[in-house]
Amino acid sequence: MTGTHFDLTGRRALITGSSMGIGLALARGLAEYGAAVVLNARDQSRLKDAADGLRGQGFDADAMAFDVTDPSAVQAAVTRIEAESGPIDILINNAGMQFRAPLEDFPEEKWDLLLRTNVTSAFLVGKAVAKHMIPRGAGKIINIASVQSELARPGIAPYTATKGAIRNLTRGMATDWARHGLQCNAIAPGYFQTPLNQALVDDPKFTAWLEQRTPAGRWGRVEELIAAAVFLSGPGSSFVNGHTLYVDGGMTASI
């Protein structure tokens, strides 16, 4: 990708849940295209290591540890970034978690935790950042959805519910904020090799099922999500709004 459509020079991106996995890969990818990145997580040690690693590669990277499910912490962190680092031009709501159990036995406290982590966080951070973007008349918000925004598997019904909510929250953000110059979209990864999925990666039976079920015949690599994030973060997506881009090796296209 070349040219101004994908140039992120001078832009600042906040990526939640970015001390590892998909979030860190996306942060590095945006930095490669010129963005200054602000990493977020709750684990300060891991977060520092991630930011130090990016800075060691010559990228402009800061770290901001805060709980994305805490309204006051979110507001304080966004205000601090805007005041001390500069405007947040791009937000990637990536923070998320998984918990697997049969639906009839699913613990209520885990249901609540999944909702707070996967959905409420995107609402809180999105709203806090949008309040700064709207007066400027510009901004990019990318929510990380999933193939589970469209599909279901046994044992993860609550996770599926949260990712379906993210898809429609993205539509709602676009509907409310497009008139203010914001583009709000989602990326829906298929099955990628990440720490969140490591138990599945290590399960030969599951991997064999995945390879048969996915037309591409393999797990995704986190680096394969970068181009989608750069496109939705850059000038080239100025008329793309409320869209969910599936990056899944064809899984949602096939039965």
Cite the active site residues: 159
Helix, strand or coil for residue 210? helix
CA distance 158 to 195: 20
Where do runs of H (alpha helix) occur along 61-120?
71-84, 108-115
Tokens 């001078």 belong to which residue?
10
Write b or e for each residue in 79-116: b if 16 or more Cβ atoms lie within 10 A of its Cβ, otherwise e.
eebbeeeeebbbbbbbbbebbeeeeeebeeeebeebbb
Q: Are 18 and 27 in contact (CB under 8 A)?
A: yes
